[in-house]
Structure 1
């Protein structure tokens, strides 16, 4: 297979696929529109020429601050054609977060999405010595009265239609090198200020090669739903890989609408984080638990049959017994199909999952109802995937086998160390931080603890910096506990507390709708969510469910006290990162009084 520098990828694919669909996206009315490879290449060309006309030079850092949309991808590939470097920012980022990246990367030009991003970026422009120009994707954005410099994207791409810009871009394309810097992706900064991860085109090309070696059951007939933010390395690398494979990419613009858009598109593949599948699991389990009689028996038997067929036999390379195969075939075309059809994944090939711990119970359940999860592990610094499930032969309890041409070893404190062609060149403007995360023999220190099996699979245990040590000297892995507790349908978010404390406690964000339904069924009076979470009966009910979930924990790992909170953790409040990870320091400070109350004898 041929591998193209990202600056020429779209043009090469257009020569091959011509009028075949490259992208699907929604227009202003919500209708899905197809964009051919030819049109995709034409728009990339015009955008690249407009960038050149505006003064974008090779190795300039260009910002993009937007939700997913077709113009996002057009801009990315246009910058690559100019040998420029793309610096993505999450659509949910605050002005202070945008300002930090703009100043650190000395960004003079940002492409913004909608009104929210424009307003924040314009505010930053007023305060930053570096930011001078905004290009606006959404034509409906209302400009600030004093704004005399911003331009709408559709107007911008008409500005480079001249011989000088055409020649400039053509010359730059001829000078593309794999060693060129492609992106600077800033980490979410859970434990300190964000760091800009520098990834070269060679990093992305290596990622393509090793995925081609591992994911042999993909084809041009697949359809990928681009749902995670393109700022996230998982989605960015995955979408780029799909375009490399000639796979149609459907772009979900509004994350809140995924339940509807996924049913409209019915993708065969979609990268996602465990949170999405936890919601699917909760919904299916709720349906099963609320059923009765023959229907409940059929659901239960279907799960049991699928577990034997998919996990005990097929995954181990064995043929299932005739009776199991017949039942599996019947369930595949009835119960499994209906469940998947309701979600919108009935055409599913497989679904890559990474970015956070996925419960083994949920993973096993999904595999049992014929939803093929490819669970993996990676970081921004490794251009995403370090390991992922093989098929057949994956093992629940691991994050898959180490990717081809990738070296992994276990260092001090059980730290996972990685070396290979996908590992970053370093942190932007941070030589000391870069030096600290590499060993003398060139391995990247992931900051994650784990083990390697004899078959080369990684068992991930915990973020080393997240490990708690109780006042009794016992080490606690909070993510492991949180992942297990989050399986319960009444629990939406969990923050485990325990560092330098005498026992483990937790702040619990309930599933408020489910909890209200329970309270109503039990005749428990409440006038507000605050009343509900303070009710002793409700508290004891939730804690009782937690007790059952942690039955396999050692005594010092078990949650001894909980507090139900009336408001969820959020990005806006600073309690979650843009990738929905807990900012533990913020949570500990914000809820210090509530936490202290749980430790009063």
Structure 2
């Protein structure tokens, strides 16, 4: 018998279904969307008035513990930043199309700049630090810079960004730094300068002038099919989405959330869902300087050893690297779960193996299962369209449409393509009327590109199941469809925990093959320490993976799911080549294009020794 769930207040799962011709349908919540704030500044001021001494944001301060920013201080600093920008002729009453570009990662100062700029009517553009720090050619960074034409650029520490800044035409553009000035003495001002202006009536006038349709930020997508696109994020989108989430999950209003979060603010998961959720509910966000990567996950673990969260948000790759620390240390496990109310994953599908391990840890720590849920959406939807707001016992369900959102299903091959309409949907892309027109159908639904289906057509209230990307599926030479999203998860579960990610190959071929990246930390438990090439070549690892997929193939003999061969990679996916985002999402199509040689190797009539062939 399963352990009980910890009690949590959710809205009842209900949905209205409107059938459409040809097998399609529209799902809607019967609950109306209630009023919400005009802009994020109203959220901040409400929190500052109600809980001025509560910590809003905390970040590491070297050996001195945490730098803490209360809501009261945040209100004062944000007003000062807004006053400084207005004094420069930016925003309300001046250059109303002015933009601020943030190149570095999450920090208290970048948050103050973000909220202060929005309050002045200046649009904020947080850019992936990887475009500056991991790129060799800075093509994406220069493309974004040309598109947004910023009036001001911000970096937390200037020296690591020296090459990136040198690649940009910075003449006439102010550069601000948070903690470390440029090493070469080039012109830059400290962020503290923006805090030195005394706010006056011009700040209140700007605050009052901001409406729901003002573009608060521009988030650039990861450019899976080319250079990044600038997604306009209005205040309406961001504020409506937080109200939508609250109505589905009223427990959020019961206890101010305390989260430790690494998810980057240049992405919608971290920058809209999590940051705005903390702000909406007057909670506390500890900025995690780690991330799910070898050498950095340890920083996340150190933060969680100090801070027991009320809510845990992560991508599946983050779960995979974090769980071993909880499993090997009962005291840490018990501390982590001590006040945890909700576990949330998004951005990609969670393998069931990880789900079961999380539940086992929860039961060991609490004798009950902390509720695990997911949501689904996109950068263009700020981000949540659907959410799970009931107890579930396995991964895969992405929930039901939130109040105010409409989810249309349109037949596409063997799948149902999902399209979205609602107040949380973007008005379009920066300076790309062509892309904006292509993105919406004749009824105004945004074409998100994902497929879904009802978990139980006879009981739609059981929710929607994510069914992969419409464009990723392909046919074998036999005409059999291969559903990439489901197969990827099945492959990761079959070889857990030894594979970090896989790309499914085989279009117009007789059988399926995998390009796979090893989870080096897990593999070292089999092979011992060593470089990636030695680990991948290890007989122990290859035999283990072979045995895992041989068992999987016996259970799944069909051509559309059977995995006869794979090749392990030692070269990480490249951000410059669009193979991966800095959040860790693998771009299936880009990998297959960039690694055409590996694909040919995989399907060679006589494969070389690097290819693992799974015998019948």
Q: TM-score, normalised by structure 2?
A: 0.81
- Runs (4+) off by over 6 Å: none
Q: Which residue of 2 aligns with 1:518?
A: 526
Identify which of 177, 182, 187 aligns with 1:142. 182
Q: Which residue of 2 aligns with 1:71?
A: 109
Q: Which residue of 1 aligns with 2:347?
A: 355
Of Structure 1 and Structure 2, which has the larger fraction of its residues in helix? 1
Q: Which residue of 2 aligns with 1:459?
A: 465
State how 1:39-78 maps to structure 2 within 5 Å.
39-57=73-91, 58-78=96-116
Q: Which residue of 1 aligns with 2:316?
A: 274
CA contact (8 A) 1:65 1:117 kept: no
How far off its partner does 1:46 sit? 1.4
CA contact (8 A) 2:315 2:346 kept: yes
Distance in 1 (alpha carbons) for counterparts of 2:102 and 2:554: 47
Q: Which residue of 2 aligns with 1:378?
A: 377
Distance in 1 (alpha carbons) for counterparts of 2:36 and 2:147: 36
Report the CA distance shift for 1:519/1:235 in structure 2 as closer, same or farther (over 3 A).
Answer: closer
Q: Secondary structure at the match of 1:24?
A: strand
Q: Which residue of 2 aligns with 1:302?
A: none
Q: Secondary structure at the match of 1:242?
A: helix
CA contact (8 A) 2:216 2:233 kept: yes
Identify which of 587, 591, 605 aligns with 1:583. 587
State how 1:151-550 maps to structure 2 within 5 Å.
151-158=189-196, 160-161=197-198, 166-218=200-252, 219-237=254-272, 238-255=274-291, 256=296, 257-281=299-323, 338=331, 340-341=333-334, 344-368=336-360, 369=362, 370-392=369-391, 396-413=395-412, 414-452=416-454, 453=457, 454-455=460-461, 457-487=463-493, 488-519=496-527, 528-535=531-538, 538-549=541-552
Find out whether 1:111 has 2:111 as its counterpart: no
Q: Secondary structure at the match of 2:443?
A: coil
Report the CA distance shift for 1:532/1:367 in structure 2 as closer, same or farther (over 3 A).
Answer: closer
How far off its partner does 1:38 sit? 1.2
Which blocks of at least 5 consecutive residues in structure 1 are unaligned? 288-334, 521-525
How far off its partner does 1:551 sit? 5.1
How far off its partner does 1:528 sit? 4.9
The C-alpha deviation readout for 1:430-476, integer Å capped at 9, x for no partner, is 11111111111111111001113422622111111222222332222
Distance in 2 (alpha carbons) for counterparts of 1:397 and 1:356: 10
Which blocks of at least 5 consecutive residues in structure 2 are unaligned? 1-34, 133-137, 363-368, 606-616
Identify which of 531, 536, 557 aligns with 2:561. 557
Distance in 2 (alpha carbons) for counterparts of 1:338 and 1:527: 30
CA contact (8 A) 2:516 2:568 kept: yes
Distance in 1 (alpha carbons) for counterparts of 2:68 and 2:512: 52
CA contact (8 A) 1:377 1:388 kept: yes
Report the CA distance shift for 1:55/1:208 in structure 2 as closer, same or farther (over 3 A).
Answer: same
How far off its partner does 1:4 sit? 5.0
Q: Secondary structure at the match of 2:380?
A: helix
Distance in 1 (alpha carbons) for counterparts of 2:283 and 2:70: 12
Distance in 1 (alpha carbons) for counterparts of 2:445 and 2:407: 8
Distance in 2 (alpha carbons) for counterparts of 1:283 and 1:565: 26
Q: Secondary structure at the match of 1:555?
A: coil
Report the CA distance shift for 1:230/1:243 in structure 2 as closer, same or farther (over 3 A).
Answer: same
Distance in 1 (alpha carbons) for counterparts of 2:376 and 2:287: 24
Q: Secondary structure at the match of 2:310?
A: coil
Q: Secondary structure at the match of 1:427?
A: coil
Q: Secondary structure at the match of 1:461?
A: strand
Stretch deviating more after TM superposition (68-77 or 8-17): 8-17
Distance in 2 (alpha carbons) for counterparts of 1:394 and 1:77: 38
Q: TM-score, normalised by structure 1?
A: 0.83
Distance in 2 (alpha carbons) for counterparts of 1:65 and 1:76: 12
Report the CA distance shift for 1:170/1:532 in structure 2 as closer, same or farther (over 3 A).
Answer: closer
Q: Secondary structure at the match of 1:576?
A: coil
Distance in 2 (alpha carbons) for counterparts of 1:251 and 1:516: 30
Distance in 2 (alpha carbons) for counterparts of 1:386 and 1:394: 21
Distance in 2 (alpha carbons) for counterparts of 1:39 and 1:4: 22
CA contact (8 A) 2:349 2:396 kept: no
Report the CA distance shift for 1:439/1:2 in structure 2 as closer, same or farther (over 3 A).
Answer: closer
Q: Which residue of 2 aligns with 1:325?
A: none
Q: Which residue of 1 aligns with 2:173?
A: 132
Find out whether 1:91 has 2:83 as its counterpart: no
How far off its partner does 1:405 sit? 1.9
Paired residues, number: 537
The C-alpha deviation readout for 1:81-111, integer Å capped at 9, x for no partner, is 1111111111222332221111112223121
Distance in 2 (alpha carbons) for counterparts of 1:391 and 1:16: 30
More relative contact order in 1 or in 2 (CA 8 Å, sep 6+)?
2
Report the CA distance shift for 1:93/1:222 in structure 2 as closer, same or farther (over 3 A).
Answer: same
Distance in 2 (alpha carbons) for counterparts of 1:203 and 1:117: 34
Distance in 2 (alpha carbons) for counterparts of 1:422 and 1:69: 26
